[in-house]
């Protein structure tokens, strides 16, 4: 007989191990299978790239096309409202209300555009982008969101692809906390330990379903694809006091050198 197999990923391979037991339950041997997953990783990387390209295109279209059109219409309606008000016409109030609604639609369009096209490398780095995302949650979703960051994170060197991947994972986890978990509070943490950068998103919602099939449509596969593309590990589990904790850990550069410099200065 055999026990439940375990699995872990190596560089370009996936190792699966199963323990063989004899009639007395003693270990009689192991079955180890190595599967070449390099092709799967390549397809996953391509999928993530296509997803990101499409999101960037949609974000730019919202900003450059729809956003500009809404701006023009809002300014026109606001000018009409002023002229009607100068003539003391009763339609002035309706026009002013229409201008206010258009301004709100424009703000929402800009918010969606920034979410789809964060331009992290142009706006202060990963932490600043995630912090802005957290600060927008009370306004857009009525949820309190705290953002915490270790000082060592500022010393980590991340390329644009990795920064964007982590941002998307944080964004998806926060949206899931609101839409599916009905959370009231979300805490986002960025930290560094043993040469790895860790992003953790914790909420106080109803918790992730135990049945894996019920999590379909929650963007988990997208988070897994992005994590694997960065050579990292993704863990989604229930919190000790309830809620859900999403943790993405990736290898990072720059931390060991910085820690050595701090020890030398001490």
Structure tokens belonging to residue 236: 């989604």
Residue 254 is predicted with a pLDDT of 58
Note the pLDDT of residue 77.
92
Largest separation between any pair of C-alpha atoms in the chain: 97
Q: Are residues 186 and 246 in the same domain?
A: yes
Residues 153 and 232 grouped into a single domain = yes
- The confidence score (pLDDT) of residue 36 equals 73
CA separation for the pair 143, 202 (Å, rounded): 13
Compute the distance between CA of residue 188 and CA of residue 167 in angstroms, rounded to an integer.
Answer: 11
Tally of residues, the chain: 266
Question: Is 266 contained in some domain?
Answer: no
In this structure, are 109 and 138 located in the same domain? no
Domain match, 191 and 167 both: yes
Q: Both 104 and 209 in a single domain?
A: no
Q: Are residues 62 and 143 in the same domain?
A: no
* 1 inside domain: no
- The answer on 154 and 78 residing in a single domain is no
265 assigned to some structural domain: no
Instruction: Identify the bridge partners of residue 247 per DSSP, sorted by sequence position.
Output: 200, 235
Expressed as residue numbers, the domain containing 24 is 6-36
82 in the same domain as 16: no
Residue 248 lies in a domain: yes
- Residue spans of the chain under pLDDT 70: 1-13, 37, 41, 44-45, 48, 114-115, 117-123, 210-218, 253-266
- Which of 64, 84, 116 is the C-terminal boundary of a domain? 116
Asked if 101 and 170 sit in the same domain, the reply is no
Predicted TM-score of the model (pTM): 0.63
Task: For the chain, give the percent of residues with pLDDT over 70.
Answer: 80
Query: What integer pLDDT is reported at residue 116 of this predicted model?
Result: 72
The confidence score (pLDDT) of residue 48 equals 67
Same domain, 140 and 237: yes
What pLDDT is recorded for position 216? Answer: 55
What is the CATH number for 242? Answer: 3.30.565.10
Same domain assignment for residues 130 and 255 = yes
Instruction: Decide if 26 is inside a domain.
Output: yes
User: Are 142 and 230 members of one domain?
Assistant: yes
The token pair at 23 is: 């009639």
Q: Are 182 and 206 in contact (CB under 8 A)?
A: yes
Question: What is the spatial distance between Cα 143 and Cα 178, in angstroms, rounded to a whole number?
Answer: 8
Number of domains present in the structure of the chain: 3
């Amino acid at each position: 007989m055999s026990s439940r197999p375990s699995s872990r990923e190596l560089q370009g391979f996936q190792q699966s191990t199963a323990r063989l037991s004899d009639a007395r339950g003693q270990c009689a041997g192991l079955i180890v299978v190595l599967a070449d997953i390099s092709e799967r990783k390549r397809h996953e990387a391509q999928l993530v790239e296509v997803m990101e390209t499409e999101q960037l295109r949609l974000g730019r279209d919202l900003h450059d096309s729809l956003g500009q059109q809404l701006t023009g219409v809002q300014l026109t309606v606001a000018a009409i409202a002023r002229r009607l008000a100068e003539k003391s016409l009763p339609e002035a109030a309706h026009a002013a209300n229409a201008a206010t609604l258009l301004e709100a639609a424009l703000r929402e369009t800009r918010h969606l555009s920034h979410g789809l096209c964060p331009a992290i490398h142009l706006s202060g780095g990963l932490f600043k982008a995630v912090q802005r995302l957290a600060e927008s949650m009370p306004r857009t979703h009525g949820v309190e969101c705290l953002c915490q960051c270790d000082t060592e994170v500022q010393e980590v060197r991340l390329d644009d692809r990795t920064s964007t991947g982590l941002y998307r994972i944080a964004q998806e986890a926060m949206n899931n906390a609101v839409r599916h978990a009905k959370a009231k509070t979300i805490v986002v943490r960025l930290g560094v330990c043993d040469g790895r950068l860790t992003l953790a998103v914790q909420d106080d919602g109803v918790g992730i379903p135990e049945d894996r099939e019920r999590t379909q449509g929650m963007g988990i596969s997208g988070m897994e694809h992005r994590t694997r593309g960065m050579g990292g590990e993704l863990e989604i589990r229930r919190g000790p006091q309830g809620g859900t904790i999403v943790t993405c850990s990736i290898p990072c550069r720059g931390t060991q050198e910085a820690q050595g410099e701090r020890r030398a200065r001490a």
